[in-house]
Amino acid sequence: MDGLAHQIVAGIATGGIYASVALAIVMIYQATHHVNFAQGEMATLSTFIAWSMVQAGMPYWVAFFGTVVVSFGIGVVVERILIRPVANAPILTMVGVFIGLLLIVGNATGWIFGYTTKVFPTPFTSDKPLFGGLVSAHELGSTVVTLTVLTLVWAFFRFTKLGLAMRAAAYNPRSARLVGIRVGWMLALGWASRRRSARWRG
C-alpha cells in the first residue's frame, strides 16, 4: 500500500507538469483560436535555456527568472514574426506554420544542446523523508508550484486590468479596439506569457 500511495503522489506531481503545458495550449487557443503544436518544443527550449544558465554557475532562482525574461522575449518574437502575418490565413496555413515551428524549435534545440538526456537540479531538497516517505521534497515542491501558478494565472485574468484586457482582446478583438485596447500587443503578451506558463518545474 505504501508503494501504491507513493506512485499516486508521484503521478500527481508529474501530472502537474503536463497540466501546465496543457494550460498553455488552451490559453493560446483561446487567444488565437489555433492549436499550437509546438508548445512542447517551446517549453523544452525554455528548460534547456534554464539548464544552461545553471550549468554556467548561476544560482537556481536567478536562472529561473532569467529564463522567464528570455522566454517572454522569444514568445513576443514568434508572435510578431510568424503568427501575426498569417493571423487571418486559412486554417491549413496556420497548421503548417505551427508544424513548421515545431520542427524548427525541436531540431534547433537538439542541435544547440544535444540529444542526450540532461540532469536538471531541483531547488526542493530535504534530508528527511516527508509524510513517512510517501512523497519526496521535489514532488511536494513541484505540486505546490503548479497549484500556485494555476492560482496566480486565474487571479491575473480575473482581477487585473491587464488580464481583463487580454481576455477582451481574445474574445472580441473588434469591440476591444473600440474601447482603446491594443489588441495586437495583448495577443503578443499572451503568446509570451503562455510560453512561460509551460516552463519547467525543476
Question: Which of 53, 43, 52 lies closest to 74, judged by CA?
Answer: 43
- Mean pLDDT over 167-172 rounds to 77
Mean pLDDT of 150-171: 82
CA torsion angle 192 185 35 21 (round to 10)? 20
With a cut of 50, say whether residue 198 has pLDDT above it: no
- The residues pairing with 135 across neighbouring beta strands, listed in sequence order, are 130
Q: How far is CA 117 from CA 47, 63, 180, in A?
A: 12, 20, 48
Q: Which of 10-24, 63-77, 112-126 ranks highest by mean pLDDT?
A: 63-77
Distances in whole angstroms, Cα of residue 123 to Cα of each of 14, 81, 160:
16, 35, 30
Q: Which residues pair with 130 in a beta bridge?
A: 135
Residue found under cell 532562482 = 61
* 7: pLDDT strictly greater than 50: yes
Stretch 180-189: mean pLDDT: 76
Round the average pLDDT of the chain to a whole number and report it: 80
Tens-digit pLDDT profile for residues 76-86 = 888 888 888 88
For residue 200, the model assigns a pLDDT of 43
89-93, 109-113, 129-133, 184-188: least confident range:
129-133
Residue 165 half-sphere exposure toward CB, CA atoms < 13 A: 17
Grid cell listed for 167: 481576455
What pLDDT is recorded for position 201?
Answer: 43
**Quick one: cell of 42?**
517551446
Residue in the block written with cell 508503494: 3
Quick one: CA dihedral 169, 172, 177, 181, positive or negative? Answer: negative
Which tops the pLDDT comparison, 166 or 103?
103
Alpha helices in 91-172 (DSSP H): 91-113, 137-159, 161-171
At residue 193, the pLDDT reads 61
In this prediction, what percent of the chain has a pLDDT beyond 90? Answer: 13
pLDDT of 89 above 50: yes
